[in-house]
Amino acid sequence: MLAVPTTDNVYSQITSYAQPKGSYQAAGDYVTTDIYNSDFNTTSDNVINLPYQNREQVFTTTASAGDIVTFPVAFSSVQGCICHVQGNSDYNVKAFNVTNTGFTLHINSGGNNAPIVVYAKGKK
Amino acid sequence: MSDVKTDYPARYYASYDTTATQPTQVTGWYDTWDMSSLDGVPAASSMVVVTETQWNDATFHLPIGKGVKDGVIVDFMPTAPLTTQASYALSSARTYVQNNYTILNETTPDAWVTYLKALMAIANGTDTTSTTLPTAPTT
């Protein structure tokens, strides 16, 4: 059967012939470079920036019981902080008095120069 | 309406206890221009400016070991208060006495009893005159 060459028919035939089949993202429905950089850009390997103003910080240091340990960069609000010994030792350490800028190190029965690794999560 | 670049023109700052005897420990590192909220951030006038070079210097911008003296960031290792030191020493001493005497049903030597009591007095605030911890018995 011969199709009448209307504009719609011609467009449909060209599309069917020339365009790969699939579902395509709508024009403009994507994250721009500026937004991507705003979300993820960081100048330190210790600071991991994430979308929606979220931020993680991971770092190692050596500290003694009662020391105040500061985060590489202060949070606007901190949600949690985990501290653990990174090494072959029996130190039992905890982070307490956690604030937006850091925490105080507790070591059971005290101790000096404990090698610790810290993970903290909060908002930029 | 306040603007972060007006309120914090240097961008990078270090906070500290402005009422403490100096040198006193750096208590926070702020990248003020990259914060989603400035609520609770000390005023720029009560912090020390950190240069961009210092901020990006991994040997300077440290989680511990920096203090403030006369408006300058210096090397500084804080010492825990004597009561805190006594609490830790007491905990360690108790463990030693329990493991070496109590669980063996042996009498705790007088030297250890004296040491424990001295630490307890400092830790609980009864002893306010000591400036150093007592020396632990050798055995």
Q: Examine residue B63 and say whether the peptide bond preceding it is cis (omega within 30 degrees of 0).
A: no
pTM of the model: 0.78
CB-based contact B115:B127 (threshold 8 Å): no
> Taking CB atoms and an 8 Å cutoff, what residues of chain B touch A70?
26-29, 63-64
Q: End-to-end alpha-carbon separation of chain B, Å?
A: 68
- Is B63 within 8 Å of A70 when comparing Cβ atoms? yes
Q: How many CB atoms lie within 10 A of CB B97?
A: 18
- Is A65 within 8 Å of B84 when comparing Cβ atoms? yes
- B31-53 tens-digit pLDDT: 999 999 999 999 999 999 999 99
Cross-sheet strand order for the sheet of A54-63? A47-50, A54-63, A114-123, A77-85
Provide the 8-state DSSP code for B51: -
Separation CA B4–CA B92 (nearest Å): 48
- A97-121 tens-digit pLDDT: 999 999 999 988 778 889 999 999 9
The amino acid sitting at A32 is T
pLDDT in tens, chain B (139 residues): 579 999 999 999 999 999 999 999 999 999 999 999 999 999 999 999 999 999 999 999 999 999 999 999 999 988 878 898 898 889 889 989 999 999 999 999 999 999 999 999 999 999 999 999 999 998 7
Q: ipTM surpassing 0.85, yes or no?
A: no
Q: Which of B27, B56, B85 sits opposite A102 (nearest CB)?
A: B27
Residue whose structure tokens are 């030191």: B85
- Is B88 within 8 Å of A109 when comparing Cβ atoms? yes
Phi and psi, residue A123, nearest 5°? -105, 145
- Is B34 within 8 Å of A124 when comparing Cβ atoms? yes
* CB-count burial class (<10 Å; 0-12, 13-18, 19+) for A77: middle
CB-based contact A31:A74 (threshold 8 Å): no
What mean pLDDT comes out for the span A43-53? 94
- A28-46 tens-digit pLDDT: 788 889 999 999 999 899 9
Is any Cβ of chain A less than 8 angstroms from the Cβ of B71? no
